[in-house]
Amino acid sequence: MSVEISRHWRLNPQRYRLVGEECPRCGGKIFPPRDVCPYCADNEPQPSFKFSGRGEVFSYTTVHNAPEGYEDQAPYTVALVKLEEGPLVTAQLTDVSSGEVEIGMPVEMVTRKIRVQGDEGLIIYGYKFRPQLQAA
C-alpha cells in the first residue's frame, strides 16, 4: 500500500489508544512516544504506558478557516488537553458546542473519525475528547 497509509498505520497505538511511554529511569509519563526522555534525557528503550484518557481543557479555540481536507468539518473546536498523568496533547473536542467549553473542563478520550484522505477515501481514526460523562 502507499507510503501515506503506512505513515498513519504506524501511529495506530497512539491514535486509537493513547499509548505512550514510561521512562524506566525517572518514571516520567511520555506522550507522544520519543526516543529520548524529555524529562531526564534517558535514551534506553522505554516500556509502553497506556494513558487513562482523562484530563482537562488547558486551552481551546474554534477553527473556521480549515486546512485542506478538513473544510467539511469546519467550524470545529481544537484544544490543548492536560492529561491527568501530566502531558499536554492537541486534539479536537467533540460532543460539545464551542460555547460550552471552558478552561479546566474535565474531558475524556473517545475514538472518532479524524479525516478522510486522498482519492482512495482513506479514513483516519484517532482520539478526540468529549466532556466527562460522570465528572467526579
Q: Which positions touch Zn ion (CB under 5 A)?
A: 23, 25-26, 28, 37, 39-40, 42
In 3D, which of 129, 37, 34, 39 has the Cα closest to residue 84? 129
The binding track of 42-81 with respect to another protein, each residue x by CB under 8 A or -, is: ----------------xxxxxxxxxxxxxx-x--x-xxx-
CB atoms within 10 A of CB 130: 15
Of 43 and 98, which CB lies nearer to Zn ion in the complex structure? Answer: 43
CA 38 distance to own-chain centroid: 18
CA 71/CA 17 separation, integer angstroms = 26
Segment 111 to 130, residues that bind another protein, using CB under 8 A: 114-115, 124, 126
CB atoms within 10 A of CB 112: 15
Handedness of CA 128, 131, 133, 136 (dihedral sign): positive
User: Minimum distance between the CB of residue 30 and Zn ion, rounded to whole angstroms?
Assistant: 8
Of 40 and 103, which CB lies nearer to Zn ion in the complex structure? Answer: 40
Q: Which residues bind another protein (CB under 8 A)?
A: 7, 11, 14, 32, 38, 58-71, 73, 76, 78-80, 87-92, 98, 103, 114-115, 124, 126
